[in-house]
A and B are shown apart, each in its own frame.
Chain A
Amino acid sequence: MTDLSVEVGSIKLKNPLMLASGICGYGDGFKEFYSPEKLGAVVTKGISLKPREGNQPPRIAEVNSGMLNSVGLENIGVERFIKEKLPLLIKLKAKVVVNIFGERLNDYVELSERLSKEKGIIAIELNLSCPNVERGAIEFGRDPKTVQELVKEVRSHCKIPLLVKLSAMVSDLVELSRSAIDAGADALTLINTVPAMAIDLKTRRPVLKNIFGGLSGPAIKPIALRAVYIVKKNLGLPVIGVGGISSYEDALEFFIAGADAVQVGSSALVNPYLPLEIIKGIKKFIKINKLKNMGELFKFLRSESRTWL
């Protein structure tokens, strides 16, 4: 049995494959295909303090090699999540990462404090691509000082490992990442969806009711790879890569760029078995190259990096 275990900061995973936030419901979205137990982890939909209805439809647009979504962070709120969803996930033996978001700094603190009282959560992923209503609706994750303050506050109220998910559409991703890690985050999740738009020529209007949506899928892989690479190269700290991964080869490319684990999103919507195929592909690659585990795999994959990193 090939050992695919990895460590991302203080988080131990049985394999480097996670289901990304937003595509697997509250972590159980793929349970009719396979048990979430087979995956390194599942990341829940973004959870807020209070339930959110989400945006009006249409919420989905197809674009070249990808899709847009303007689901609008629809979720049942933290209390119902803990009461109704978490017990099922624990029963399914899923390794749960809870993605959270808020409108103000204190929301993140309250949420993480609340969740830290529950069992069965291996990490909290902070979605910082949300407008801070207390600071002129500028995204939390755009200002290094805000990132530092927020992560520091959350860290002091919560012992669970923290992942900070950032957008690539920022002025200085390395500086923002540094702020997050300095303030106590365990790892960075790179990247969130890319702000985008689609137009319907037949109706002469935007496809999405919300006009704008987040671009995901193979179209953003090059953007995500760059984000992972520059952060890993400059900070050398744990990074989870996400953005357009559609095959085990894509996952290996992210490992070369510096990712310690990867998440799969949109492509799993089209191919629900993709996460298992990626795990299988990585195992096969390890065997063919006569390696023993993920540590050796990283070393092998990054052996060329010395010449250009």
Chain B
Amino acid sequence: MREFTVRVISQKALTKDIFLLNLKLEKPFKSLTPGQFFMIKIQDGFEPFLRRPLAWFSYDKNKKSIQFAYKVVGKGTTILAHKKTEEKLNILGPLGKGFSSYLKKEKLLFVAGGAGIFPFFSILENLSEKQKKNSKLIWGVNKKNDLFYINKLKNKLPIYLVTEDGSISKKALATDVVEKILSEDQNDWFIIACGPAEMLKNLANLLEKYKLNGELSMEERMACGFGACLGCAVPSKKGGYLRACKDGPVFRFDEIDWKRVK
């Protein structure tokens, strides 16, 4: 983990409120795990005060560039979306525990809710042939226009796209599709999930019902991002709390006390 300055190479809109930021690194990273994140200082000065945690989207070691996909949700991300080529950013990372348990599994069920799809692109790049054959991806969004890069996903795995407003096929949630798949075949799936807490909570209940395991990425408001301030509390099965930034953001489903997750 280090603090360093990057230069904006380019930025483009993937949907109305999702942007892809391409940054030039001075030094490459030794390794990055999907699901790890960086704390981004939006601009000089005190506004906005805190850094913004963003998971990396893709990384080109040879070109020494890193890309972040993010959704504009507030003050910080709005300013970020206006950054132009050659502008500088100060970032801190890589931080946190990424997705790793899936590496040893063959039958993977990817479940993405909305912008939760972001970390899966880099995971899909590196799946084994066996994994590609046996795995599926479910992506649930609010409406059709929230989708992007579908072809990149279709090339890798069978994918199920569902929308909450029914603008593609019928109205459904990602968890509805999971339930259907598991009811037809509940054996040996390992779930990898990323999305809103409500989706993850419903998924956790499903996994308990079918006695399956998996890992997920948990979001929580962060101040430091490196484990020092105890701000990003995630309820732990063992009682008390874990830190999303240090003990996560990727957790096993059975690490979290879902009853206490709001």
Interfacial residues, chain A to chain B (CB-CB below 8 A): 22-25, 29-30, 32-33, 45, 51, 53-67, 69, 71, 74, 209, 217-218, 246, 266, 269-270, 272-273
Interface pair B49/A57, CB less than 8 Å apart: no
Choose one: A30, A51, A69; the contact of B231 (CB below 8 Å): A69
Q: Which of B54-62, B148-156, B174-182, B232-240 forms contacts with chain A?
A: B232-240
Q: Which residues of A contact B92 (CB under 8 A)?
A: 272
- Nearest CB in chain B: distance from A292 CB, A: 33
The closest CB in chain B to the CB of A53 belongs to B240
Asked if B229 and A22 sit within 8 Å, CB to CB, the answer is: yes
Q: Which residues of B contact A71 (CB under 8 A)?
A: 229-231, 233
User: Min CB distance, A18 to chain B, in Å?
Assistant: 15
Chain A residues near B27: list those with CB within 8 A.
Answer: none
Task: List B206-262 residues whose CB lies under 8 Å from chain A.
Answer: 220-224, 226-235, 239-241, 260, 262
Q: List 22 A–B pairs whose Cβ atoms lie within 8 Å, in order of A's numbering.
A: A25-B230, A29-B227, A45-B230, A53-B240, A56-B235, A59-B221, A60-B50, A60-B223, A60-B229, A60-B232, A62-B49, A62-B50, A64-B49, A67-B50, A69-B231, A71-B229, A71-B230, A71-B231, A74-B233, A209-B262, A246-B46, A273-B3
Sort chain B's interface into a size bin: 20 to 34
CA distance A80 to B71 in the complex (A): 41
> Judging by beta carbons under 8 Å apart, are B231 and A59 in contact?
yes
Per-residue contact bits, chain B 53-78, to A (CB 8 Å; 1 contact, 0 not) = 00000000000000000000001000
Return chain B residues, CB-CB under 8 Å to A65. 46-47, 49
**When the two chains form the complex, which single residue of A29, A56, A217, A246 contacts B233, counting CB atoms closer than 8 Å?**
A56
Q: How far is the CA of A168 from the CA of B230 in the complex (A)?
A: 24
Chain B min CB distance to A79 (Å): 16
CB-based contact A269/B223 at 8 Å: yes
Secondary structure at the B interface, as helix, strand, loop or mixed, is loop
Nearest 5 A/B pairs, CB to CB? A29-B228, A60-B231, A269-B224, A65-B46, A60-B221
Contacts of B234 in A (CB 8 A): 57
Most buried by A among B92, B224, B235: B224
Q: 18 additional contacts, CB 8 Å, given A54-B230, A56-B235, A59-B230?
A: A32-B1, A53-B239, A53-B241, A56-B233, A57-B232, A59-B221, A60-B221, A62-B48, A62-B50, A65-B46, A66-B46, A71-B229, A71-B233, A217-B49, A269-B229, A270-B41, A270-B50, A270-B224
B220, B221, B241: the one contacting A54 at CB < 8 Å is B241
Q: Min CB distance, A218 to chain B, in Å?
A: 5
Contact A272 B223 (CB under 8 A): no
Q: What distance in Å separates the Cβ of A27 from its nearest Cβ neighbour in chain B?
A: 10
Q: A266-B223, A272-B3 are in contact. Are A25 and B49 (CB under 8 A)?
A: no
A57 to B262, CA, bound (A): 9
B interface with A by C-beta (< 8 Å): 1, 3, 41, 46-51, 75, 92, 220-224, 226-235, 239-241, 260, 262
Instruction: Give chain A residues whose Cβ lies under 8 Å from the Cβ of B222.
Output: 60
The reply to whether B227 and A56 form a contact with Cβ atoms under 8 Å apart is: no
CB-CB under 8 A from B48, the residues of chain A are 62
- Chain B residues lying within 8 Å of A66, measured Cβ to Cβ, are 46, 49
Minimum distance in angstroms from A259 CB to a CB of chain B: 21
**Chain A residues whose CB sits within 8 angstroms of the CB of B233 once the complex forms:** 54-57, 59, 71, 74
Whether the pair A23, B221 counts as a contact (CB closer than 8 A) is no
Q: A32-B226, A272-B3 are in contact. Are A58 and B49 (CB under 8 A)?
A: no
Verify A74–B241 contact, CB threshold 8 A. Answer: yes
A63 to B221, CA, bound (A): 13
**Bound: A55/B240 CA distance, A:** 9
Docked-complex contact A23 and B228, CB < 8 angstroms: yes
A55: B residues at CB distance < 8 A: 233
**Most B Cβ at <10 Å: residue of A55, A62, A65:** A62
Please, how many angstroms separate the alpha-carbon atoms of A163 and B232 in the complex? Answer: 29
Chain A, Cβ-Cβ closest to B75: A62
CB-nearest residue of chain B relative to A51? B240
Q: Which residues of A contact B220 (CB under 8 A)?
A: 57-58
B226 and A56: CB pair below 8 A?
Answer: no
A270 with B1: in contact, given A45-B230, A60-B231, A69-B231 (CB under 8 Å)?
A: no
Collect the chain A residues with CB atoms within 8 Å of residue B224's CB: 23, 29, 269-270, 272
Q: Is the CB of A58 within 8 A of B221?
A: yes
Give the complex CA separation of A22 and B1 in angstroms: 22
Question: Would B229 and A23 count as touching, CB distance under 8 A?
Answer: yes
Residue of A nearest to B234 (CB): A57
User: Judging by beta carbons under 8 Å apart, are B221 and A56 in contact?
Assistant: no
Taking a contact as CB atoms under 8 Å apart, the answer to whether A67 and B223 are in contact is yes
A69 touches B260 (CB 8 A): no
- Closest B residue to A218 by beta carbon equals B46
Enumerate chain B residues within 8 angstroms of A60, measured Cβ to Cβ: 50, 221-223, 229, 231-232
| Measured CA separation A67–B46 after assembly (Å) | 11
Q: Give every chain B residue within 8 A of A59 (Cβ-Cβ).
A: 221, 230-233
Q: Report B51 CB to chain A, min CB distance, Å.
A: 6
B244 nearest CB neighbor, chain A only = A57
